[in-house]
Structure 1
Amino acid sequence: MPGRNEAPPRVLATEAAASLIEEIRADHPDILFHQSGGCCDGSSPMCYPVSDFKLGERDVKLGEVAGVPVYISGSQFEAWKHTQLILDVVPGRGGMFSLDNGRERRFLTRSRVFTEDELAALGD
């Protein structure tokens, strides 16, 4: 846990997620995550080759997990900024355009609400 005045990370990854990221990076070295906003693939974290995804000017970088940047749309960030996102892996198929598709495991976002002290450190 970060110290009292140290801002906590906005995004983390479980060991299972880090392992799947490593597997995907063996095939696609430069990737990013974008937290989906709920259209075609619900609210799944989507994994793309950097060259295949155009970031919007309102997208917010939450941080990095296993050396991979994680973004979210500005409007969704406003709704979720009080939570820490935790990338995890569960059995199943990934989003139809996400690089975890076809690997029989998919990324899933879990979350927890930041404490008052953590929110204060984040400046929210």
Structure 2
Amino acid sequence: MNSGAAVPLRLMATAGAADLLRRLRSLHGALMMHQSGGCCDGSAPMCYPDGEFIVGDRDVLLGVLDLRLSAGEVPSDLPAGDDAVTVWISGSQFDAWKHTCLVLDVVPGRGSGFSLESPEGMRFLSRARAFSADENEALNSERPLTGEDWERGERPDPPTSPQIVTEAVEACPVPGTSST
């Protein structure tokens, strides 16, 4: 039984990352992402045309980014089509990261040649915030969706809190600093 803490999002994105995804969508159509597990560009999030990366049965869905939203908005439903960007992570890597919220950000520079943003002069970057004890307890009641679940047609509920933040520090506050 959880302590009443709201179930936190496992995935958030900065406004800059959402803007870059919208630009890539205009060039490539529907998108998907996979949090790399150490190959090629380290542990970078990789962006592909939807369906270009084969999601495994044991891969875990971190979330579905809603490209209709601006920072601070909460969706009323799940996005569909080109507005939806699924973000996946391998099951074994999820086991190591399940105590964190992954925050998709973007920084200047060139990442891996496999990810769609490479020619844009920007690269996606994962930041993470460790969940509190109450958040971890709330997450214990949630079963993460896997690639196998997705193939059977299961979908997550829409987020109940903003998924897109203006800056990464809103999702990953620096300890010992004030937000005033």
TM-based fold match above 0.5: yes
Deviation, structure 1 residue 94: 2.5
Aligned position for 1:32: 32
State the distance in 2 between where 1:40 and 1:52 align: 17
Give 3-state SS (helix, strand or coil) of 1:102's partner. helix
Aligned position for 1:21: 21
- Select the structure that is richer in strand: 1
Aligned position for 2:126: 109
Structure 2, unaligned stretches of length 5 or more? 67-83, 142-180
Equivalent pair of 2:35/2:46 in contact (CA under 8 Å): yes
State the distance in 2 between where 1:61 and 1:108 align: 18
Question: Percent identity at matched positions?
Answer: 55
Deviation, structure 1 residue 6: 2.1
State the distance in 2 between where 1:25 and 1:76 align: 27
Deviation, structure 1 residue 74: 0.2
Q: How big is each residue's C-alpha offset from its partner over 1:51-99, in whole Å with a ceiling of 9 and x where there is no partner?
A: 3111111100011223311000000000000000000000001221101
Equivalent pair of 2:33/2:46 in contact (CA under 8 Å): yes
Superposed, 1:1-124 pairs within 5 Å as 4-66=4-66, 67-123=84-140
Count how many residue pairs are aligned between Structure 1 and Structure 2: 121
Equivalent pair of 2:37/2:93 in contact (CA under 8 Å): yes
Report which of the two structures shows the higher radius of gyration computed on alpha carbons.
Answer: 2
Amino acid at match of 2:62: L
State the distance in 2 between where 1:51 and 1:60 align: 15
